[in-house]
């Protein structure tokens, strides 16, 4: 059962925003400082979604850097992250969809594995911050998605139950998070997913953000 005006929680990278170009640029800048050549955009995009420590681990594995450098590389990446906003764009239709959902009475939040400071920075840079009642970053708890704890903490911050919320994401991590939290899941098909959508648990798949308000209304009506 979903309430008539459920809260809607969104993943960030690959869902609301195409941030891979900024993350790619930051990763290659760090690799250059350590004497490694650049990786292509598709490779780095494949590392996005599980937080900075995972991304750094993938960079180390891909380039043959010393794994002992990982803690320092995480710190180095996070120092760059707040200003890594200039190549990032919202997906087409995102601002309009968020405005329509707010106008319809939904409370909105972000639950991301990106650290909270760069998450807030990029939302502010893109003039999206005002849509959201809460931003849950990947460094606010000791665990990250797909552990359901960050998503459940987001619901707690909003003051809503699982029966009064919907999760929207783009990836395998998001699908598993929604499943483990017991939330309806809408998957954006144009993000950073690697697995076929048919293989991921979801309620509705969509490719056009302009369609989301109507899809949410349909999901609510069917509950």
Task: Render pLDDT for 177-220 as a digit per residue (tens, 0 to 9).
Answer: 999 999 999 999 999 999 999 999 999 999 999 999 999 999 99
- E strands, the chain, are 7-10, 17-18, 89-90, 108-111, 134-136, 165-169, 185-188, 204-206
Is 31 contained in some domain? Answer: yes
Tell me: do 120 and 28 sit in the same domain: no
Find the mean pLDDT for residues 72-97.
Answer: 95
Domain count for the chain: 2
Is 1 contained in some domain? Answer: no
Find the mean pLDDT for residues 20-48.
Answer: 96
Whole-angstrom distance, CA of residue 144 vs CA of residue 137: 9
Q: Residue 2: is its pLDDT beyond 90? A: no
Q: Residue 4: is its pLDDT beyond 90? A: no
This model's pTM is above 0.75: yes
Tell me: do 74 and 104 sit in the same domain: no
What is the pLDDT at residue 223? Answer: 78
Q: Which three-class secondary structure state does DSSP give residue 15? A: coil
User: What percentage of the chain carries pLDDT values higher than 90?
Assistant: 96
Would you place residue 3 in the very low, low, confident or very high pLDDT band (cuts 50, 70, 90)? confident
Domain harbouring 194, CATH code: 3.40.50.1000
Is 127 contained in some domain? Answer: yes
Catalytic annotation present for 11: yes
Tell me: do 160 and 208 sit in the same domain: yes
C-beta separation of 203 from 184 below 8 A: yes
Tell me: do 119 and 150 sit in the same domain: yes
CA 39, distance to chain mean position in Å, is 22
């Amino acid at each position: 059962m979903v309430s008539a005006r459920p809260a809607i929680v969104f993943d960030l990278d690959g869902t609301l925003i195409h941030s891979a170009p900024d993350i790619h640029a930051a990763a290659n800048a760090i690799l250059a400082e350590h004497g490694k050549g650049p990786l292509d955009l598709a490779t780095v995009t494949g590392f996005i979604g599980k937080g900075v420590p995972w991304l750094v681990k993938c960079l180390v594995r891909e380039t043959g850097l010393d794994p002992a450098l990982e803690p320092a590389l995480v710190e180095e990446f996070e120092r760059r992250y707040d200003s890594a906003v200039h190549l990032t764009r919202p997906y087409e239709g995102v601002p309009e969809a968020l405005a329509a959902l707010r106008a319809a009475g939904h409370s909105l939040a972000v639950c991301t594995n990106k650290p909270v400071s760069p998450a807030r920075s990029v939302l502010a840079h893109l003039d999206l911050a005002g849509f959201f009642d809460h931003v849950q970053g990947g460094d606010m708890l000791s665990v990250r998605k797909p552990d359901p704890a960050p998503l459940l903490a987001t619901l707690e911050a909003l003051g809503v139950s699982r029966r009064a919320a919907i999760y929207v994401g783009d990836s395998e991590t998001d699908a598993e998070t929604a499943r483990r939290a017991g939330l309806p899941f809408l998957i954006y098909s144009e993000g950073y997913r690697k697995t076929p959508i048919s293989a991921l648990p979801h309620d509705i798949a969509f490719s056009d953000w302009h369609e989301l308000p109507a899809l949410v209304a349909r999901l609510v009506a069917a509950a």
